[in-house]
Amino acid sequence: MKARIPMCFYLLTLAIGGTVVGGCDAGFDVENQVRGQLDEARQRWQEQSIRNYQFIYAQQRGDVIVDTAEVFVRSGTVDSIATSPEVSEDELLVGTVGSFFDLIEDRIGEDDSQFGADFDDEQGFPVSYNADFQDDRRSQDIITIALVDSVNESQETQGQ
């Protein structure tokens, strides 16, 4: 049985653990450090050469909470998405890990946002992200619940 952790726990963890960067307050050095961290994480992810995977995350966008978004990626492209509760795909912030990196990169140097992001130490994929905006956009939070490499899982299953 899969344990379910309330979204408020995820958001609290994100708020405490994230590296927060303010667009207005961030100096050029901070912006370069954040871009460097993002580039290093993206390179670690790309070195894994994972193109087929299952990506499971929770998100909150304003007052719309998605407890679970389960994305199946084949050859680097979204194959299917299931959410609980059901929401339109337009409401989801990301699909692939690549789009998660792009979302974070879009915040760097942005004057109207403050954001934080953390990355997996081994594989580099984003594990958490949060952003608050000074304009009309709704706040955004994402927590990665699991990332399963479909190729390795298949190989492990065949070996048993």
Kindly list the structural domains of the chain, giving each domain's residue range(s) and its CATH number in brackets, ordered by start: 7-159 (2.50.20)
Q: What is the pLDDT of residues 58-106, one digit of tens each?
A: 999 999 999 999 999 999 999 999 999 999 999 999 999 999 999 999 9
User: Full-prediction pTM beyond 0.75?
Assistant: yes
Interior/surface letters 64-79, b for 16+ CB within 10 angstroms, e for the rest: ebbbbbebbbeeeebe
Question: Whole-number mean pLDDT of the chain?
Answer: 84
Separation between Cα atoms, residue 10 and residue 98, nearest integer Å:
22
Q: Strands across the sheet with 53-61, in order?
A: 20-22, 113-119, 126-133, 140-149, 53-61, 64-74, 77-84
Residue 22 makes CB contacts below 8 A (sequence gap 6+) with: 114
